[in-house]
A = this chain, B = another copy of it.
Amino acid sequence: MWQLYQFPLCPFTRKVRILLGEKDVGYELVREIPWTRRDEFLDMNPAGQTPVMVDGERGTVLIDSAAICEYFEETVDRAAMINGSAANRAEIRRLVAWFDTQFFRDVSQPLVEERMVKRLVLRQSPNAARLREAMKSAIGHLDYIDYLLDHRKWMAGATISLADLAAAAHISVADYLGGIDWSGHTHAKAWYSAFKSRRSFRPLLAERMSGIEPPSYYENPDF
C-alpha cells in the first residue's frame, strides 16, 4: 500500500490524489506540514515539499508531483490523463506547468501562505495587500480559463486530461481559502461545477483543515 505524505490544502497533492482516484490506485494518507521542516521528511525529500509517495514493500520513493503523475500514467493503463498525439500531450503538460507554476505563484501560494501557514504555523496576521493581489490575479486566471473553455470542451482539448486535474486542484485550494470570485466566469464555473461531481474529487472536497472553514458553497456543485 502506498503512503502519501501531504496536508489537505496542498494543491500539488490534490492533483496527484485526483489522478489516483481516476486510476483507482489505493493509498494511505500521512500528515506532513512542510513548513515545520521535520528532519525525517527532509532526509526523504531534500526539497522539503509534499507530495511524497512511499511503497515500503518495494522500497520505492516518488518525489515531485509531476514525476509522480508521470509514474502512475506509465504504470496504470486505466484512465489515461496524458493522452492523444505527442502535440496534445505537450499541450497537456504545458497547462499542468501553467497551473503548477503561474497559478501557484500568483494565487494558490499566496493564499496558502497568508491564510493557512500564518494562521496555523507562524501565528501571524495575513498580509491584506498580498491577499488582494492574489484575488485580483485569480480573476485574470479565470479569464484565461474562460478563453480556453470557449474553444475546447476540456482544458487541453476534447477529452479530460491531467490539465483539468491540475486546474481543479489549484482552484479548489484557492476556493477553500475564499480567493475565488466566480461571478462573470461562465465557462470556468460550468466546467468546475461538472468537475465537482466527479467521484475522484468529491472525497477531497469533503476534507477540512482544522481551524480554517471554507465558504458555504465550497462543496456544492450548484454554486
Contact = CB atoms under 8 A, between A and B. Distances in A.
A71 B97 contact: no
A47 interface: yes
Q: Chain A: interface secondary structure?
A: helix
Contacts of A64: 93-94, 97-98
A60 B89 CA distance: 12
A71 B86 contact: yes
Interface of A: 46-47, 60, 62-64, 66-68, 70-71, 74-75, 86-87, 89-91, 93-94, 97-98, 101-102, 144
Contact of A66 (B47, B66, B86): B66
Nearest to A144: B46
A188 to B, nearest CB: 16
B67 A93 contact: yes
A66 B144 contact: no
A60 B87 contact: yes
